[in-house]
Chain A
Amino acid sequence: MKPFLLYAIQDFDWVQPEPWNEKALTQDLDLAAILDAMSKGDPHLRDIAARVILTGLDDPAEIRYRQDVLRDCLAHPSVIRELYDFILETVAGEKKIHTFAFMRSSSAILGRSIKVLEFMQERLRALRIVAESNAEVFFSAGFQALFHTLTEELGEEYLKAVADHLTRLRFRCGVLLSAQLGVGNHGRDYVLRDPGPDPSRWKRFTQDFFTPAHTLVIDDRDEAGAQALAELKDRGINQAANALAQSTDHVVSFFRMLAAELGFYIGCVNLHEKLSSKQTEFCFPVPEPVGQMDLTTEGLCDASLMLRLGHRVVGNDIHASGKHLVVITGANQGGKSTLLRGIGLALLMMQSGMFVTATYFRANVSTGIFTHYKREEDTTMTSGKLDEELGRMSGIVDRLRPGGTVLFNESFAATNEREGSEIARQIVQALTDSSIRVFLVTHLFDLASGLHEEHQDTALFLRADRQDDGHRTFRIIEGAPLPTSYGIDLYNEVFTPHAAGAPSALLTGA
């Protein structure tokens, strides 16, 4: 019995190590804002969300599987939340049942397992009832399968059988073991036996006045005898105690897995609620297979920016179908980085099976998403800035596979424009020739115009919009690179007070 909410046929591996570029991705794409909204302060949920988002899927079918599950959750948020809380309570309840540190005897192990399973009986029943009540209104393959499993496997007959075992395992009528003769005629291969359908036969043996033949009676004062007897019993129930304890572990493990997988969707529901309050547009993206270069979106907004600002932001359209390369140039603080981040986040979220903050989004999946952003000067002064950038780039190349995506933000600008452009040009060329998709934000005119000349058909050129009076609209439109990024405007703004326009927007925009 498995939850199978994140994958149709396998468990999510919660213990795999984090991806190599976890820190870079989190920082560059401002995942923190997303994770905060998803987890609402719960560190456990945060961890779950981070793991799922950073372990992307690369199969469109798997993505659709999750999207369907999420649709169900968004349609019935209160059911999901109740279910989640119920499961957490169950897990907490199991912890409360005392485990003695030195649980060395089989009887003690058996005893504890019985207690846990008695507690679990009711919880399992309740779980089944939730499944039965909601099977009609949850349409995703994931939930259908889960509810079906719960209904089938946790029926009343089964739960009665479980209860029956738990009663018998208390051995109120005594224990029946079989054994054979081993080394030195010691008993060996003790096996717990089923006494048969008529346990009342046993009752006779508990009566003091009746001692049948071949019975050993241990005197009340015989402590050593009592201990030996207990040990004999323990030998007999050893295997059964082990079986029950392991089964207990399995049941608890099932609840834990369900909690974790459901936790991801809870996070998504939280995120959805937070963003909805800002009149965000959502859509479920259309995933395309690896290799089919495509990014087509309308009204794409940067989710993390919205969470930080607390209100709607400008959406953008991109039509990059069949394009290996998207180059974004233009005015400072015109929204270029925001767009790049928006693209990166949307790709990540699509690959985790989530919704994206756009009115339409369609893209191919990547075998890996990498960011290469400029960083501060190396304070240890062990490498120059260019060294550091190239080092990081090399690390990315080590892990890139065909079908990957790299997002560059103002890379290789730490040297003169000509050199930087040449370095960048070679890297970009090599990546695109190797079926890697590249998104590039740059001020290097040499680079941008060179690429523009070479890649007219296979690249898309976007430019941050600027009105004649210097006002930024934060709209990124299609357009060839221009030699200037209008730094004049910014200079004016900072050094001379500006009456008209929205100065704060200039300074707070990307």
Chain B
Amino acid sequence: MHMSCISVLFAQASDTPAAVQPEPSFFVDLNLDQVVAGLTAGRTEYQLKEYYRAPLPDAPAIRYRQQVFQDLERSDLRDRMKDFTDEMTHTRQRLKLATELRHTYQRERWQLAAATGYRDAVESLAVDLGRADLRSPGLVSFRRFLIDYTAGEAFRGLSTDTDLCDGELAGIQYCLQITGNRIHVTPYQGQADYGAAVQDTFARFKQGVVKDYRVAFPRYPEMNHIEAGVLDLVAEIYPDQFAALDRFSTNHSDFLHPSIARFDRELQFYLAYLDYIEPMKQAGLSFCYPVVDEHRKDVRAEATFDIALARKLTVTHPGTVVCNDLSLTGSERIIVISGPNNGGKTTFARTFGQLHYLAELGVPIPGRAARLFLFDQLFTHFEQAEAPETLRGKLQDDLFRIHTILDSATERSIIIMNELFTSTTLHDAVFLGTKIIQAVVELDLLCVYVTFVDELAALGDTTVSMVSTVEPHNPTTRTHKIIRRPADGNAHAIAIAERFGLTYPRLKERLTS
């Protein structure tokens, strides 16, 4: 493999996205936009968004990333990688100063410092990775590259040059004779430390601890013109050392190997995600590496949950995240979810979508174990505000949108629909819903359909009914547990009344306010 193709995110260089994709249309519905915002917070310099918008094309590509995750999840390695990225950040900061400052020798010194930091970071990473127990092909091949690189001529040359140059400059000691408004610069010639002499003279009076009168001087990167002038004179007195600095600057103007830079960036993808899920793991929630099948549409997930919601709840209401199981086996394709409002139906539907999408990014997903399908497209149809400019009523809008989806979907797509046809009578809703389900059945694709229309739940052998449950003793309390069960007609009626705020408790509330 050609050197510049080393990537820990993509097994094949050809998988690298050509351009930044726009945000997928289903992101907002599935709250994936919140997830990505959380992942990229504080890491804008790495421009990770494009990775999150590019799902992987096949199971091997997914496996490639999962294995890197598994290597990193072993704690030492993760911390070690974090240290490396911190050092790379410092290198970039120094390089920035090396372009921004005015004085040549300042710029060159910062460049040297950047190179030294880079050299140290890369060298010690090579040593540590050399010792580490790595199993992912991604990291193994990066390690191979790193070892070759650090043994190579270019790097060794950089290393020798930085040490030489650093050494030369560290060895400079100069004197300033300040008289009136003049500064005379000379080499240091072993003159004695006068402050120490003063201290010695008065040592006999030492009583106990006294105040520290040293003044603290502020540090700015920019030099004032006096400092700059002095530096120029020092350079005149020690021309060889500064010539070496000039040479270094010219020879090593571009020392950062692109593969290292790329690695640093791609590493952030992994570290960001692991940081994101850490609090949830601490709170006892499980994450797993799903098996993603390119052919079979059997889907399973144990103890899974909505990742965006869990992230929020872990902070505000720790311990309240409800996990659910889902499965579709054999010829089952459509999950129809019904039941009381606010029961977690939409959350469940979102989770189905999130799991599949995240799986295709190669990251660990919520749940104890999972088996998912490698979809080609993901469509969502969630409630949207009326758009007056389209001159369509809501129902018409719903139908229009679903028509577009059904047209574009293939048998390898996933569709998630949330509460369609609410702007019509129950009768029409049943009719339309049935039609849609039939169309979906014909396509044989995976679908989650959240509805208040119970009848749709029993439409065929490819549909599975799941119901959001309530506390048996306290029907107004939602458990947020969704379980397989035939749709409950009763629940339906209550659900409708609920939707209009016309159940007994709700009415009491409203009438007394």
B residues 183-207 touching A (CB-CB < 8 Å) = 183-186, 188, 191-199, 201-202, 204-207
B295 lies within 8 A of chain A by Cβ: no
Binary flags per residue of A233-248, CB closer than 8 Å to B gives 1, else 0: 1111111111111110
Per-residue CB contact flags for chain A residues 215-227 toward chain B (1 = under 8 Å, else 0) read: 1111110001110
Within 8 Å CB of B175, what residues of A?
176-179, 193
* Interfacial residues of chain A within 441-463, with CB under 8 A of chain B in the complex: none
- Pairwise interchain contact B178-A174, C-beta atoms closer than 8 A: yes
User: With an 8 A cutoff between CB atoms, is B105 at the interface?
Assistant: yes
Assuming A183-B113, A239-B195, is B205 touching A250 (CB within 8 A)?
Answer: yes
Task: Find out whether the CB atom of B207 lies under 8 angstroms from the CB atom of A257.
Answer: yes
Q: Is the CB of A218 within 8 A of B182?
A: yes
Partner of A232 from the list B178, B204, B208, B210 (CB cut-off 8 Å) is B178
A11→B209 CA distance, assembly (Å) = 13
Whole-angstrom CA separation of A501 from B401 in the bound complex: 128
Of B6-14, B65-73, B227-235, the segment with at least 4 beta carbons within 8 Å of chain A is: B227-235
Note all chain B residues with C-beta closer than 8 A to A234.
Answer: 215, 217
Q: Let me know if B236 is at the binding interface, CB within 8 A.
A: yes
- B204 neighbours in A (Cβ, 8 Å): 1, 153
Q: Which of B218-226, B254-262, B502-510 contacts A (4 or more CB under 8 A)?
A: B218-226
Contact pick for B226, options A109, A232, A246, CB 8 Å? A232
A216: which of B169, B174, B182, B237 is its contact (CB, 8 Å)?
B182
Is A211 engaged at the interface, CB distance under 8 Å to the other chain? Answer: yes
Q: Is B408 an interface residue (CB 8 A)?
A: no
User: Whole-angstrom distance between the alpha carbons of A79 and B210 in the complex?
Assistant: 32
A214 touches B195 (CB 8 A): no
The complex places the Cα of A216 from the Cα of B196 at a distance, in Å, of 28
What is the CB-to-nearest-CB distance from B132 to chain A, in angstroms, rounded to a whole number? 33
Q: Of B103, B212, B224, B236, which one neighbours A214 at CB under 8 angstroms?
A: B236
Question: At the interface with chain B, which of A70-78, A184-192, A402-410?
Answer: A184-192
Q: Which of B194, B195, B206 has the most CB of A within 10 A?
A: B194
**A242 adjacent to B214 (CB under 8 Å):** yes
Q: How large is the interface on B (under 10, 10 to 19, 20 to 34, 35 or more residues)?
A: 35 or more
- Tell me whether B205 and A238 are in contact (CB under 8 A): no
Tell whether A162 pairs with B185 under 8 Å between CB atoms, given A214-B237, A216-B226, A232-B178.
no
A228 adjacent to B227 (CB under 8 Å): yes
A232-B198 in contact (CB<8A): no
Main secondary structure of the interface of A (DSSP, over half): helix
Chain B nearest CB, measured from A338 CB (Å): 44
CB of B191 within 8 A of CB of A217, answer: no
Q: Provide the residues of chain B in CB contact with A183, threshold 8 Å.
A: 109, 113, 219
Known: A181-B169, A228-B227, A253-B207. A247 touches B202 (CB 8 A): yes
Q: Which of A194-202, A267-275, A321-329 contacts B (4 or more CB under 8 A)?
A: A194-202
B267 to chain A, nearest CB (A): 27
Closest to B224 in A: A228
For residue A139, CB closer than 8 A to chain B, the reply is: no
Contact: A228 with B226, CB < 8 Å? yes
CB <8 Å contact, A193 and B170: no
B179, B211, B213, B230: residue with the most chain A Cβ atoms closer than 10 Å? B213
Q: Is the interface of B mostly helix, strand, loop or mixed?
A: mixed
Q: Nearest residue in B to A250 (C-beta to C-beta)? A: B205
Pair A193/B194 contact, Cβ less than 8 Å: yes
Q: Report how far A195 CA is from B178 CA in the complex, Å.
A: 12
User: When A179-B173, A180-B170, A184-B106 are in contact, do A233 and B178 touch as well, CB less than 8 Å?
Assistant: yes
Q: A185-B109, A194-B193 are in contact. Are A216 and B233 (CB under 8 A)?
A: yes
Interchain CB contact under 8 A, A236 and B176: yes
CA distance A175 to B181 in the complex (A): 11
CA distance A420 to B106 in the complex (A): 90
In the complex, B101 has a CB within 8 A of chain A: yes
Are A245 and B213 interface neighbours, CB within 8 A?
A: yes
Known: A216-B233, A238-B215, A253-B210. A186 touches B176 (CB 8 A): no
Q: Assuming the A-B contacts A180-B172, A239-B195, A242-B214, are A186 and B223 also in contact, with contact meaning beta carbons closer than 8 angstroms in the complex?
A: yes
Please list the 3 inter-chain residue pairs (A to B) with the smallest Cβ-Cβ separation, ordered nearest first: A174-B179, A247-B202, A240-B195
- Show 21 A/B contacts (Cβ-Cβ < 8 Å), sorted by A: A1-B205, A162-B201, A165-B201, A175-B176, A175-B179, A179-B173, A181-B170, A184-B106, A184-B221, A184-B223, A185-B105, A186-B219, A186-B223, A187-B227, A194-B194, A214-B233, A216-B185, A217-B181, A238-B214, A242-B213, A242-B214
Residues in B lying within 8 Å of A, measured CB to CB: 97, 101, 103, 105-106, 109-110, 113, 169-170, 172-186, 188, 191-199, 201-202, 204-208, 210-215, 217, 219, 221, 223-227, 229-231, 233-234, 236-237
